Amino acid sequence: MSNETPLLRLEGVTKDFSGTVVLENVSFDLAAGEILGLVGENGAGKTTLMSILFGMPVIRETGGYGGKILVDGKEVSFSSPFDALDAGIGMVHQEFSLIPGFTAVENIMLNREISKPGIISDVFGPRMRTLDRKTMKDRAQSAISRLGIEIDPEMKISEMPIGHKQFTEIAREIDRERVRILVLDEPTAVLTESEAEILLAAVKKLAQTGIAVIFISHRLHEIVNICDRVLTLRDGKSVRDIPASQTTIEDIAVSMVGREVNTAARREAGRSFGEPILSVDRLWVDMPGEIVRNASFEVRQGEIFGIGGLAGQGKIGIPNGIMSLYPAGGSVMFKGKPLPLGNPRVPLLEGLAFVSEDRRGVGLLLDETLEWNIAFTAMQTQGRFLKSWLGGLFTQRDEKAMKELADEYIKMLEIKCTGSFQAAKELSGGNQQKVCLAKAFCLGPDLLFVSEPTRGIDIGAKSIVLDVLRRVNRDQGTTIVMVSSELEELRSICDRVAIVSNGEIAGILDPESSQADFALYMAGIRHEQSGKENPGNTALEGRTP
Ligand SMILES: Nc1ncnc2c1ncn2[C@@H]1O[C@H](COP(=O)(O)OP(=O)(O)OP(=O)(O)O)[C@@H](O)[C@H]1O
């Protein structure tokens, strides 16, 4: 720490949850205009540290914290996020906090609405002033423009693609006139590579205007690209704080986990597959922010089939439509039989399972224990974990079996928790993601859709998750369809990769195909147009509308 008074100083911050220490003596300084990268494994304590800084109620409700926070050299103690906002600290959380039925303008200007006088307010006083929608729109538009992106300010949040929601959240924070410190907790986790690049450029621009940024990300290349300094947390302790220019991605990964990390997991060679288990023909799905209008493809029994593509082009809509979470149509054949669309129970009963990209929205029962979360769907759809008495007159939950199963998955996926009784909401984001996977594995499906399975997962945990997916595929014969924005991840595990563009399958490629081929399909240029071979495609190749 230098002798100059920093904009922000944390001194010996400590936190425990019911006696379990999750932060121990964490200290750092942050100067105006500086970007500090905060890295650490899932559960290392990053979000908790930022919750303390932002005065989140959960910290007070769980006994407060130890140590000091100083802004401009003066000790502060925030009892709510409003105090933090008053002190010029803005935070964009891992999960969205936008109001879905409101437009981007209404969300950006929430609680800072601008009103104008009129005849009625002249008579009845300032309480009767009306909203000055034009000025509000201009201000929201200017915050959006500062980020260097285009979003329709009048679009409702519920109708936006996920990337635009993220930009709206950030625009809301930078619209605050007094924001001096901005905390971004995994802001690019939901973005595509190109959107992430725009966001990174915007963050750099903000820092140049003097805003200090704390940037949390598991995408380590982003950390080395935009941060001035990198602070590593490991098991709640700050283990390293160095200039970004003096470190590399590999070096950061080692500092996070304290050992070498093997990220080069490759798929196995010489795999063989059965008949098509899933045939999708002219699928359309009505999901906000996604276009699926004419998707046709086949997945073979035992295969790991990847679906990639840019944000909003339809890759996420496909599993959401087949699982009947959104209105969908077209023809879906599963295990040789038509799969009716429209009732979300049907695919589960037929042997399909889905790990959604939206882990908080549809993935987890946040107030319930891990045991309950993991076993719940299997209990509901397969009647498992229930004991019957008197010929079925009474049924009771089989707590012992639920616990055994949860313990098995906690071990297999290395879920960081205090035990199977812990509530899901108390887990770090990455560990919640692992619980969603456990819940789907527990159904023992014939075909498992996983959408963005490694989102928000640290570099070490990523290889665990991919490894477990491979194991489930190999040992249990589960066919897997994996949707991901990370092309490299799809190429490292999938047998074939379909690229979706404009709601259709632009092409299906062998994972070894060149980066250029993938890029062509992502740009919506089909193989007939590009004149390229399409080695991975099967009977449905080239089926055009
Ligand atoms: N409300 C809570 N009650 C009990 N334990 C909690 C609570 N919130 C967080 N924890 C625990 O604190 C530890 C740190 O979690 P935190 O969310 O800060 O990790 P993180 O570094 O942000 O991880 P990720 O990268 O997965 O988001 C974890 O072990 C988590 O289970």
* DSSP symbol at 458: -
Tokens standing for residue 381: 């759809």
pLDDT score at 117 = 54
- Sign of the alpha-carbon dihedral angle for 221, 223, 226, 228: negative
pLDDT tier for residue 531 given thresholds of 50, 70 and 90: very low
CA 278 – ligand 1 centroid, Å: 38
Mean pLDDT across 205-224: 91
CA 19 – ligand 1 centroid, Å: 14
The residue to mutate among 21, 41, 47, 432, having the most atoms of ligand 1 within 8 angstroms of its beta carbon, is 47
Pocket lined around ligand 1, Cβ cut-off 6 Å: 17, 22, 40, 42-48, 58, 62, 416, 426-431, 458
pLDDT score at 533 = 41
CA 428 – ligand 1 centroid, Å: 4
Q: What is the per-residue pLDDT across 56-95, written as a single tens digit (0 to 9) for each?
A: 999 999 999 999 999 999 999 888 888 888 889 988 887 6
Q: Whose CA is nearest to atom 19 of ligand 1?
A: 43
Report which ligand 1 atom has the smallest distance to the Cα of 58: 1
Residues in the chain: 545
pLDDT score at 66 = 95
pLDDT at 149 over 80: no
For residue 68, the SS3 value is strand
How confident is the prediction for the chain on average, in pLDDT? 84
CA 454 – ligand 1 centroid, Å: 17
Predicted complex ipTM: 0.98
Give kind and range of the element (H or E) at residue 193.
Answer: helix 193-208
Q: What is the per-residue pLDDT across 441-491, written as a single tens digit (0 to 9) for each?
A: 999 999 999 998 887 778 778 888 898 999 999 999 999 999 998 888 898
Mean pLDDT across 307-323: 91
* Cβ–Cβ < 8 Å for 28, 176: no
pLDDT score at 260 = 53
Report which ligand 1 atom has the smallest distance to the Cα of 94: 27
pLDDT score at 79 = 85
* DSSP symbol at 497: E
Mean pLDDT across 410-424: 92
Q: Whose CA is nearest to atom 20 of ligand 1?
A: 43
pLDDT score at 143 = 80
pLDDT score at 382 = 85
pLDDT score at 175 = 73
CA 181 – ligand 1 centroid, Å: 22
Report which ligand 1 atom has the smallest distance to the Cα of 18: 4
How many Cα atoms are found within 13 Å in the side-chain-facing hemisphere of 139?
21
CA 235 – ligand 1 centroid, Å: 10
- Most confidently predicted of 256-260, 446-450, 490-494, 518-522: 446-450
CA distance 76 to 313: 46
Q: Whose CA is nearest to atom 10 of ligand 1?
A: 426
Report which ligand 1 atom has the smallest distance to the Cα of 50: 18
Q: How many CB atoms lie within 10 A of CB 287?
A: 18
Tokens standing for residue 3: 């002798």
The DSSP result for 201-216, as a single string, is HHHHHHHHTT-EEEEE
Higher per-residue pLDDT: 16 or 173: 16
Report which ligand 1 atom has the smallest distance to the Cα of 418: 31
Higher per-residue pLDDT: 153 or 284: 284
pLDDT score at 343 = 94
pLDDT score at 538 = 39
How many helices (H) and strands (E) are present in the chain, helices listed first?
19, 24
pLDDT at 183 over 90: yes
Which domains are assigned to the chain? 7-88+178-258 (3.40.50.300), 104-177 (no CATH), 275-351+479-545 (3.40.50.300), 356-444 (no CATH)
Q: Which of 124-133, 275-284, 308-317, 370-379 has the lowest mean pLDDT?
A: 124-133
- Sign of the alpha-carbon dihedral angle for 378, 383, 386, 387: negative
Higher per-residue pLDDT: 339 or 251: 339
CA 427 – ligand 1 centroid, Å: 5
The DSSP result for 86-128, as a single string, is HTTEEEE-SS----TTSBHHHHHTTT---EE--HHHHHH-GGG
Phi first, then psi: what are they for 389, rounded to 5°? Answer: -125, 155
Mean pLDDT across 194-204: 85
Pairing of strands 352-355, 447-451: parallel
The residue to mutate among 21, 22, 237, having the most atoms of ligand 1 within 8 angstroms of its beta carbon, is 22
Q: Whose CA is nearest to atom 13 of ligand 1?
A: 43
pLDDT at 527 over 60: no
pLDDT tier for residue 127 given thresholds of 50, 70 and 90: low
pLDDT score at 523 = 73
Higher per-residue pLDDT: 196 or 215: 215
CA 524 – ligand 1 centroid, Å: 40
Q: Whose CA is nearest to atom 12 of ligand 1?
A: 22
Q: Whose CA is nearest to atom 5 of ligand 1?
A: 426
- Most confidently predicted of 98-102, 248-252, 339-343, 487-491: 339-343
pLDDT score at 113 = 55
pLDDT at 112 over 70: no
pLDDT score at 125 = 56
Q: Which of 19-28, 462-471, 534-543 has the lowest mean pLDDT?
A: 534-543
Report which ligand 1 atom has the smallest distance to the Cα of 236: 14
Report which ligand 1 atom has the smallest distance to the Cα of 422: 4
Q: In the chain, what's the furthest Cα-to-Cα distance?
A: 82
Q: Whose CA is nearest to atom 7 of ligand 1?
A: 426
Report which ligand 1 atom has the smallest distance to the Cα of 233: 21
Beta strands in 368-434 (DSSP E): 386-389, 394-397
Report which ligand 1 atom has the smallest distance to the Cα of 43: 19
